[in-house]
Every structure is written in structure tokens, then in C-alpha cells.
């Protein structure tokens, strides 16, 4: 577990969402959002439980109308993780969600103009000790400006300005605990918005790309944005957004944090070379079969499978289990020590045996 040395984590205030702390030195938490109609409480709760079982720390549900707000107490009572209500347009629904026990309420400054209503929500949240997230999205910011064309390079500052205006209103109304987000659907705009936001305040930040697209695109866009920001020490909680099963949002969030060294890997982490004119074994097939055969292993082990002597011995030494292949054979390593030489035909079997032995050691 490490953050790159020269970019210490931005020090933010700590906010508690139920039992989950966001900000300060708390681990970066993972959020997702249900895709069910919230008013169907049982169906929504079933999805909340699936998300929690996959490792989701906080689950958000849309509350577009009163019947959805009325389902909240049942969902909150049955959920293993804190429930966040997602509110747009209506401050009355935000009041309802707080009263219904939502652990946190998200409001969108891009589509709420009722400032008196907002002041009431702020006051109630402060009294209840319940945090709010002010979250702007490029889409709603642009819709609000409809007619007045916004140049892409002006969007980040506009998003931050919209958030900070609300932060000043909150300061005048008892200052409930706040989390901020500024998501755009394209990568450079999102990075820039969060960099500006990180400088503008010390509130904890919720990271994400909005409308990030189908799973493959969303995985890349989220990796680019979250990777950059977290590598610069920015970000306290995250949501990967994708058009598809929200369980995948949780798994990708975990993957990003693990690759950045911010939490342990889930299962086997494979390090393998691209093969080149030096490689004398069928490494591509070996790696594919190794990956397929180790999906059940949950221990966070690094396994290096390398095709030649250039980087093979070094990577194999660094890994929990390593194989440095040569012509027709490979040298097997365990925790940095060479164990034995195996012929090509036995490589996969020997690797699997070694991986399972090391995994069993715990």
C-alpha cells in the first residue's frame, strides 16, 4: 500500500456517511448506484445486497419522485451498507430523503434553483448531522446554460464556481458535512475540474466520470481520470460509472485502487511480457491458461510469467511465484528464490502447483 512518494494525499476534512468515513486518511471508498426503480424496495434492496457483497462500501439510489422517497426507510433498514439518496431538481424530495433516513443526500447545483429550499435542506442536514454531496455534471451544467455556448476549456472552472457558490451558502446555513464532485463525460475536462476543486477547498472529493459509456470505454476513461487524480493525491471516494451491470462498477473501482497500490489485489495479479523475437515458448497461451485456472484464488499474489532472460529473472524474483522461460524450459521461482527447472510441457502444471502452495501458506 503506497501513494507515489512525491504526491502526498491531499488532506481533506473527514465526513461520516453512516459507518463509512470519507476524507482525511480514510481508505478511498467505493460507491455504486442501483439501476432498479427505487420505489420497488425489495428489488432495489436485492441489488444493494449484491453490490455490498461485491465490496461496494456505499450505495446510491435515485429518488426522482415521492414514491421512491417513501421506499427509502425499508431500503435503509435492510441494507448492509449506508444508502445515499440521489436528488435532482427538487429540494422537497431532498427534505423527504433526509427525513426517511438516507445516510447522505446528493444534490445537483446544475439543476436546482430554489435557493430557499436549499437553505432548508442545508439546515436540516446540519441538525441531523447527515452529510450532503454537491455534485455537478458537465451535462447539467451545459443544460443550465442552454443557449449560451460554453467553450470546453471554460467548463472546469464553471463547474467549480457553481459548487463553490453552494459551499458559501452552506457555510451560512450551519455548514453540514459536505462532499463535492465535478464529473464530466470527457477525460481532460474531468481531470482539470477536480484539480481546480482540490485547490479551491479542503472538502473531501468524490471522483468519477459521468456518462462514461459502455464497460470497455468506461473502464478506460475511469482509469485515466481516477489514475491521474489519485496519483496526484486527489480523491477520497469514487464511483466508476458504466452502462451495464453495476457490479462491474465495483470490480473496476477495486481494480484501479489495487493497481495504484491503494488496496490489496483481489486474487492473482499477473505480470507477463509481451513476447518478442527472444521468446522461445508459447507464452500467450500459457498466460491465458494460467489466468483461467486461477480465477478461484483470492489471495493477492503476484505471478510473473516471463519469456526470456532479459527481464525474466528480475521480475520472477520480485513476484510471489515466477517463471522465467528459456528455450524449451523455464526456471520456477518462489518468493524470489529459484526452486527448480521445468521442461516446457510441465510449465503450466508446475506454475499452478506452486501458486496454490504459496496461496495456501496465506
The footprint of a second copy on residues 263-322 (CB under 8 A) is 269-279, 283-284, 287-288, 291, 304-306, 308, 310-315, 317-318
Where on the phi/psi map is residue 200: left (φ > 0), alpha (ψ -120 to 50), or beta? Answer: alpha
| Stretch 108-127: interaction string toward a second copy, x if CB under 8 A | x-xx----------------
Q: Is 19 in the site for a second copy (CB under 8 A)?
A: no
The size of the interface with a second copy (CB under 8 A), counted in residues, is 96
Min CB(105)–a second copy separation in Å: 15
Rounded alpha-carbon distances, angstroms, from residue 31 to 39, 46, 188, 193, 207: 20, 16, 22, 20, 10
Can you tell me which of 52, 117, 120, 185 binds a second copy, judged by CB under 8 A?
A: 185
Closer by beta carbon to a second copy, 77 or else 243: 243
339-358: which residues touch a second copy (CB under 8 A)? none
Comparing C-alpha atoms, which of 40, 38, 22, 39 is closest to residue 30?
A: 22
Min CB(126)–a second copy separation in Å: 26
Q: Is 26 in the site for a second copy (CB under 8 A)?
A: no
Can you tell me which of 29, 31, 91, 210 binds a second copy, judged by CB under 8 A?
A: 210
Comparing C-alpha atoms, which of 104, 29, 31 is closest to residue 63?
A: 104
Can you tell me which of 12, 31, 138, 294 binds a second copy, judged by CB under 8 A?
A: 138
What element of type H or E holds 16?
A: strand 15-17
Q: Is 247 in the site for a second copy (CB under 8 A)?
A: no
39-98: which residues touch a second copy (CB under 8 A)? 39, 44, 61-64, 68, 86, 88
Cα(61)–Cα(80) distance, rounded to whole angstroms? 14
**Residues with Cβ < 8 Å from 338, sequence gap 6 or more?**
331, 332
Where on the phi/psi map is residue 239: left (φ > 0), alpha (ψ -120 to 50), or beta? Answer: beta
Binding piece for a second copy, criterion CB under 8 A, among 13-21, 96-104, 121-129, 244-252: 244-252
Binding piece for a second copy, criterion CB under 8 A, among 90-98, 137-145, 168-176, 352-360: 137-145
**Residue whose C-alpha cell is 451545459:** 142
Cα(141)–Cα(172) distance, rounded to whole angstroms? 24
Closer by beta carbon to a second copy, 64 or else 117: 64
- Cβ atoms of 3 and 220 within 8 Å: the answer is no
Amino acid at each position: 500500500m503506497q501513494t507515489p512518494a512525491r504526491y502526498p494525499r491531499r488532506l481533506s476534512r473527514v465526513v461520516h456517511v453512516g459507518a463509512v468515513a470519507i476524507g482525511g486518511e480514510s481508505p478511498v471508498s467505493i460507491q455504486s448506484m442501483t439501476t432498479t426503480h427505487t420505489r420497488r424496495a425489495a428489488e432495489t434492496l436485492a441489488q444493494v445486497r449484491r453490490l455490498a457483497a461485491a465490496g461496494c462500501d456505499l450505495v446510491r439510489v435515485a429518488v426522482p419522485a415521492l414514491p421512491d422517497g417513501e421506499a427509502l426507510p425499508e431500503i435503509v433498514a435492510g441494507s448492509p451498507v449506508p444508502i445515499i439518496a440521489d436528488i435532482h431538481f427538487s429540494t422537497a424530495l431532498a427534505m423527504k430523503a433526509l427525513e426517511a433516513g438516507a445516510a447522505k443526500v446528493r444534490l445537483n447545483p446544475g439543476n436546482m434553483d430554489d435557493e430557499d429550499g436549499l437553505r432548508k435542506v442545508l439546515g436540516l442536514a446540519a441538525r441531523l448531522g447527515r452529510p450532503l454531496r454537491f455534485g455537478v455534471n458537465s451535462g447539467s451544467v451545459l443544460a443550465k446554460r442552454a443557449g449560451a455556448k460554453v467553450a470546453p476549456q471554460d467548463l472546469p472552472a464553471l463547474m467549480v464556481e457553481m459548487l463553490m457558490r453552494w459551499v458559501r451558502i452552506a457555510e451560512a446555513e450551519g455548514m453540514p458535512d459536505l462532499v463535492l464532485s465535478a464529473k464530466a463525460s470527457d477525460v481532460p475536462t474531468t481531470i482539470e475540474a477536480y484539480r481546480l476543486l482540490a485547490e479551491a477547498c479542503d472538502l473531501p472529493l468524490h471522483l468519477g466520470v459521468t456518462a462514461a459509456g459502455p464497460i470497455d470505454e468506461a473502464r478506460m476513461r475511469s482509469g485515466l481520470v481516477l489514475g491521474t487524480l489519485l496519483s496526484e493525491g486527489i480523491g477520497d471516494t469514487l464511483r466508476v460509472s458504466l452502462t451495464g451491470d453495476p457490479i462491474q462498477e465495483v470490480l473496476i473501482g477495486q481494480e484501479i485502487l489495487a493497481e495504484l497500490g491503494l488496496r490489496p489485489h483481489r486474487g492473482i495479479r499477473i505480470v507477463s511480457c509481451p513476447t518478442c523475437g527472444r521468446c522461445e515458448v508459447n507464452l500467450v497461451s500459457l498466460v491465458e491458461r494460467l489466468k483461467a485456472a486461477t480465477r478461484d484464488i483470492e489471495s493477492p499474489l503476484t505471478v510473473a510469467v516471463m519469456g526470456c532472460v532479459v527481464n525474466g529473472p528480475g521480475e520472477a524474483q520480485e513476484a510471489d511465484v515466477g517463471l522465467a522461460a528459456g528455450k524449451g524450459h523455464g526456471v520456477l521461482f518462489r518468493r524470489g528464490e529459484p526452486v527448480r527447472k521445468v521442461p516446457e510441457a510441465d510449465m503450466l502444471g508446475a506454475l499452478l502447483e506452486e501458486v496454490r502452495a504459496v496461496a495456501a501458506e496465506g
